[in-house]
Structure 1
Amino acid sequence: MELALWMFPALFVAIFIGVPVAFALLGVSLVFGFIRFGDAAVHQFIAEVQDLASNYVLAAVPLFILMGTLLESTGIAKQLFKAVHMWTRRLPGSLAVSTILLGTVFAAASGVVGATETVIGLLAIPVMLSHNYSKSLISGTVCGGGSLGTAIPPSVVVIVLAPSADVSVGSLFAAILFPGLMMAGLFILYIIVHATLDPRVAPRSLPDEDDDGMSLLGKLRFTLVAFLPPVLLIFSVLGTILLGWATPTEAAACGALGTLLLTATMGQFKLAVFWNAIKRSLLISVMILTILLGGHIFSGIFAASGGVSATREILDAANLSPWSIILLILLIGFIGGFILDLVSVVLIVIPLAIPIVNALGFDTIWFLVLFLIVLQTGYLTPPMAPSIFYLRSISPPEMLLKHMYRGVIPFIGMQLVTLVLVMAFPELALWLPEYIRGP
């Protein structure tokens, strides 16, 4: 048991000296496996490889990533942004509000966090800068809206998380849907209140500015045309899963095919674009699945060496209350969220946490929703926030790191409000899965 507990310090040392996460997980597992089990460890490694390779649900990962990479080239986001802003133009901070709404729709259509932030950032940043929006508000809005891909299904992180926790992907999708939408609503509420109290951060357009003179019927027609493709995509993926018509993998295949057809319909299908999307999807998928393999082997060696039992003994000796233990696990997930990529955090923490959560009598789905919110908060939190790295890659030089750090803080606050609400009222996460399952 004592040997197993040294696996985590060894893993973090390997990561901090620059070893890629996947190889750190595999290397530490290899060393400790041979120390503990000798040659028999090879059989456990082979069993973990076979288990991962035969996991039908994980086939959805490359399909969702392909959806996200193809959606970046369709031009659909530009039409959506214009359609949304037609109806929000008179609100305080209207462009920022439109950006959050665009991020919500795009998150529900693709499930890939980086793709969502990149698309909405490339569209919204130049427009908001031209309207003299605060650079901090721009930064927070793009990072917050882009991060919704973690909390709004179909999220690739959920596809990885659900099998690791031995729960249904469809149930977890249903559980995270309302908290994710509630978080987007809190983002919008903050923007409106902030822009109302301090109009300088989001100057309002003149009455006729950006008005294209469309009639009400024309606006409705334009909005319908702009929203129809993403709504169909969302239904083909999320709707079919929640209604029980398709498994996540089948729904992901439908979504990828639908995105391909949409790309062709909008005149954006070119062999170079398609080939680039395939290559990017392959690279990202291989990275995720290699980390998954390392995480499975690591957790298998850790559990077989008595690591879970040793952890329980430590927690029992510390005499912590059940809620204190839950908060401690969430804190570990939060810290990991701004040091490691989200998939790595899931695979390191969840296999250890779920047996403890079950033993304490907490609902597993409810805990996983909390964990997803915490992961998203870590994704947004400086100094190592991945969302800020994405933003820096697409932002103009006048947007400095200080603007980005200052801008994300209020959005982190809204995420923490969502976390507290779901903690206090578990029904926010549990009512939809229970409703879908029926009596």
Structure 2
Amino acid sequence: MLELLDVGFDLSALGIEYGTLLMFGLLMVLLLTGMPLAFVTLLVALVFALGWFGPMAVPLITSRVFSFVTSFVFLSVPMFVLMAAVLDRSGIARDLFDAMKLLSNRLRGGVAIQTIFVAVILAAMSGIIGGEIVLLGLLALPQMLRLGYDRGLAIGVVCAGGALGTMIPPSIVLIIYGLAANVSVGALFTASFLPGLMLASFYVIYILARAYLTPKSVPDPDPVVMPTAEKIALLRGLILPMLVVIFVLGSIYGGIASVTEASAIGAAGVILATVVRGEFTFDLLRGAAMQTLATVGMIVWIGIGASAIVGVFNLMGGIDFISSLIIGISDEPLYILLFMMLILFILGMFLDWVGIALLTLPIFVPIIVDLGYDPIWFGVLFCMNMQVSFLSPPFGPAAFYLKSVAPPDISLGDIFKALLPFIGLQIIALALLIAFPWITGISGL
């Protein structure tokens, strides 16, 4: 490709129609080679910048990338990732899981419901799904299998519950959407809170339905009454996690701190919690910092590549071209919205959510605004769609996270099969958000 540029091949002679086909064709071919998305997008951006505009276009790419990585709100991402990494290495999540026995001990399907409640609290503490699924895979899955839960139900609860961090604030997906769409992250947090709880309640209802309609899928409740002293001891496991949630989300919703400031409060709070519990060590902090560096580095590199290619594509006139194609499919705004949801759903089966957000939102959000829809509401729809992508085959990351800690006899095929009912519940939740925008506290139009 670069040799063609050296001999003066002018890509702009192709026109925007064939230029768009060539750009996306190169993306697909290079991705099929196994090259990481960040490097694929950077390479294609460089090829088209030089081939379409010449060397003078390169500074325009770097300026766009610089504006992305220097955004103040983006500072909250490493803070929330650090919170999740510290949780991974402490006993806070384990004690939280044990404390939830107070709610589930006498209920059919109680441990599965307990897992969903723990997932909601963990999501409200960090907003990272990978760590949650691994934690629940280590804590909840062995216990449910040992007690005699249906294997598919146990697997689905862990994966779907652990993926709730996509919807429940402080979700990293919402933060990236806010950056890409240039909308208030705090407003996104407020709008997504109830839909996240709604989805969690769908999971609980499904568990109860399985428990009472197919009794053999769950064990009988424990008939032994828990002593009061043990209940008090378990309650202590709720104190520190709830304090972190209250300080982080309370400071945001109360207008006391911005999302970035609240993320720093949360990170400091989780580290302080490990100190209070006597678990803090420099090895713990170093391991958490290295995990944070790896995760955020991946997000930054994907963001750099996506920002570069979208910037070049915009200069080519590609965004206007794609926008006209999408708008041209129908005169009915709802059909255009559903078409966007379909595109996101298909992309979610093959690409990382960060890349999807940064590649599609610069095109989709202006269309949404032109159609008269609220971009905050669309942000909640986007996150619910990405929630589906975390579970959907063939590359649903939730399945691979669980596979890394699941017993050897559980295959990826078993996991994806177990996730199908939960994907159905997510699609129902997405449909409800489209039909009834007021669930987010926004009219939608």
Q: TM-score range by the shorter chain?
A: over 0.9
Deviation at 1:50, TM superposition (A): 2.4
CA contact (8 A) 2:68 2:304 kept: yes
Residues 39-78 of structure 1 aligned to structure 2 (within 5 Å): 39-78=55-94
User: Identical aligned pairs, as a percentage?
Assistant: 38
CA contact (8 A) 1:4 1:305 kept: no
Return the alpha-carbon distance in structure 1 between the equivalents of residues 319 and 127 of structure 2.
32
Deviations 1:198-218 (A, max 9, x none): 11111113412xx54236xx6
- Which deviates more from structure 2 when the two are superposed, residues 231-240 or residues 388-397? 231-240
Deviations 1:4-39 (A, max 9, x none): 453223222221221101011111111111122111
Corresponding residue for 1:214? 228
CA contact (8 A) 1:337 1:376 kept: no
Task: State the aligned residue count.
Answer: 429
TM-score by length of 1: 0.94
Q: Equivalent of 2:151, from 135, 138, 147?
A: 135
Residues 259-278 of structure 1 aligned to structure 2 (within 5 Å): 259-278=270-289
Corresponding residue for 2:181? 165
Q: Equivalent of 2:217, from 201, 209, 214?
A: 201
Return the alpha-carbon distance in structure 1 between the equivalents of residues 328 and 97 of structure 2.
55
Give the aligned residue type for 1:315.
I
Return the alpha-carbon distance in structure 2 between the equivalents of residues 417 and 317 of structure 1.
27
Return the alpha-carbon distance in structure 2 between the equivalents of residues 286 and 152 of structure 1.
23
TM-score by length of 2: 0.92
Deviations 1:150-195 (A, max 9, x none): 0101011111110100100100011111000000000000000111
CA contact (8 A) 2:89 2:288 kept: no
Structure 1: 5+ residue stretches without partners: 434-439
Q: Equivalent of 1:311, from 298, 315, 322?
A: 322
Q: Equivalent of 1:421, from 432, 439, 442?
A: 432
Distance 1:243-1:195 versus aligned 2 partners, 3 A rule: same
Q: Secondary structure at the match of 1:154?
A: coil
Return the alpha-carbon distance in structure 2 between the equivalents of residues 204 and 406 of structure 1.
25
Return the alpha-carbon distance in structure 2 between the equivalents of residues 7 and 253 of structure 1.
40
Corresponding residue for 1:95? 111
Residues 212-251 of structure 1 aligned to structure 2 (within 5 Å): 212-214=226-228, 219=231, 221-222=232-233, 224-251=235-262
Corresponding residue for 2:50? 34
Deviations 1:371-421 (A, max 9, x none): 110111111112221111011001112323343122111111111111111
CA contact (8 A) 2:391 2:416 kept: no
Corresponding residue for 1:334? 345
Deviations 1:235-271 (A, max 9, x none): 2222211222111111111111111111111121122
Q: Is 1:403–2:417 an aligned residue pair?
A: no
CA contact (8 A) 2:64 2:307 kept: yes
Residues 318-357 of structure 1 aligned to structure 2 (within 5 Å): 318-319=329-330, 321-357=332-368
Corresponding residue for 2:205? 189
Return the alpha-carbon distance in structure 1 between the equivalents of residues 329 and 357 of structure 2.
25
Give the aligned residue type for 1:161.
Y
Give the aligned residue type for 2:29.
V
Deviation at 1:276, TM superposition (A): 0.9
Return the alpha-carbon distance in structure 2 between the equivalents of residues 432 and 155 of structure 1.
22
Structure 2: 5+ residue stretches without partners: 1-15
Q: Secondary structure at the match of 1:318?
A: coil
Corresponding residue for 1:121? 137
Return the alpha-carbon distance in structure 2 between the equivalents of residues 130 and 46 of structure 1.
54
Give the aligned residue type for 2:301.
T
What is the root-mean-square deviation of aligned Cα atoms in Å? Answer: 1.8
Residues 269-288 of structure 1 aligned to structure 2 (within 5 Å): 269-288=280-299
Corresponding residue for 2:441? 430
CA contact (8 A) 1:175 1:432 kept: no
Q: Secondary structure at the match of 1:19?
A: coil
CA contact (8 A) 1:4 1:306 kept: no
Give the aligned residue type for 2:324.
E
CA contact (8 A) 2:174 2:188 kept: yes
Return the alpha-carbon distance in structure 2 between the equivalents of residues 401 and 46 of structure 1.
40
CA contact (8 A) 2:437 2:443 kept: no
Return the alpha-carbon distance in structure 1 between the equivalents of residues 380 and 244 of structure 2.
24
Q: Secondary structure at the match of 2:369?
A: helix
